[in-house]
Amino acid sequence: MEPPSLPKLEELSYITPSIYAATLLCPARGLWAASKNQPRLPEHPSSLLGVAFHSLVEHASKGGFAGISDDFADCARSYFDAVCGELYDDAHPLIRAKFSSPNRMPNYYLFRERAVIAAAEVRRPFASNVNAAREAPSLAEQPLSTKDGLLRGRPDLLDVKRREIVDYKSGLRGDAGISTEETRQLLLYGEMAEENSFQIERGIVVRPDGRRFPIAMSSGDMQAEAAAAKEVLRKVNAAISGGASFAELANPSSTNCWMCPCMPSCDRFWQGADVSWAESLGAQIEGVVSRVERSSIQGADLVSINLDVSRGTIGQGDCSVEQIPAVWLVVGGSPLPSVGGTVRVTNCRLIDSELRVARVDRIVTCLWTIDAKSDGAI
């Protein structure tokens, strides 16, 4: 596959909690996330399952399973399956090349059961809009914004009676706390709610296993976080209006680039990455193909490539990336890598640091053709 083109930089009319979080790490990453013509990339399976998770919770919160009692869990599972099927059909072709059906994606059934539990929890009367919520108990998945329109978002649940913002998480964290990013998100949602005349005192993160983690939220803290987000918006727009390029706005580091979608296309990353980043980011490799070999294991057509590595997190020199399923490499009609071409292999695993042998990770590894060569074919 060829890496996606960088998005055209345009000033933002507003900022959301997720764009704010990405921009704090790297303005270029935030603008990538905010792009109206966002480049198409292979989705992480957990992202697709997370969308289905939230879709089921929203459907349940809005009375989608009204009148269903004993067979609620089965109905909820069927709804989750249907949403995942639609997402899978519309996913990047590499996802379908890696996973033959939606339920073959890692942790599919675990996500589904967590979603069913969360959906059961929110099955109660909800308001249909902001105005109705002033006299109703709760508002679910409704757009909110500050009065100036500069901050917008969709909190999972605004519990009017309890004065709470509730955020349901589809991923299961190992620790018992709330991250800084989650705290910022809750504070921003709280400020949007208060500017719409709702009183907010707490934010709650609900993990998929039912654990609830509350934090107290003061009006002062919510206002301060909203002001900080708007200042980030102002600075980014000023940089864009001043002619800043994507590369100039990029802020690569061993922490900022973790699971960053910009990585295949971000030259600043490849210029700055070194072996000290490997502990955080794993093996990210750019090099020129020196040999291509085909093999077959249990009927699977596999490709191994030798690279003269020039940049990335494993250091320069020879490296072998072994046993890449050929079907991954030809999605969208892409040709197989050829000798003399430059490729980037993102999110693979260095299994032998002395022999410099890497293996692909089925969930996240991608191979990107930077400079294809027509000669030197297999």
CATH number at 289 reads 2.40.50.140
**What are 52-92's pLDDT values in tens digits?**
998 998 888 878 888 777 799 999 999 999 999 999 999 99
pLDDT digits (tens, 9 = 90+) for 134-158: 555 667 778 899 999 999 999 988 8
Whether 141 and 175 have beta carbons less than 8 Å apart is answered as no
Task: Return the pLDDT at 64.
Answer: 86
Final residue before a domain boundary, out of 94, 121, 148? 121
In a domain, 135, yes or no: no
- Tens-digit pLDDT profile for residues 240-296: 999 999 999 999 999 999 999 999 999 999 999 999 999 999 999 999 999 999 999
The verdict on residue 65 lying in a domain is yes
- Of the three residues 70, 94, 121, the one that is the final residue of a domain is 121
| Tokens read off for 265 | 């296309």
Residue that has been written with the tokens 């099927």 in this structure: 85
Percent of the chain, pLDDT > 70?
Answer: 93
Residue 304 within a domain: yes
Measure the CA dihedral 259/260/261/267, to 10°: -130
**Residue 190 located in a structural domain:** no
Number of domains within the chain: 2
What is the structure's pLDDT at 282?
94
The residue ranking higher by pLDDT, 303 or 172, is: 303
Decide if 6 is inside a domain.
no
Query: Which two tokens mark 243?
Result: 């002619």
> DSSP label at 347?
E
Domain boundary among 121, 151, 185: 121
Give residue 67's domain range.
Answer: 42-121
Describe the crossing of helices 17-25 and 219-241 by its angle, rounded to 10 degrees. Answer: 60
Decide if 241 is inside a domain: no
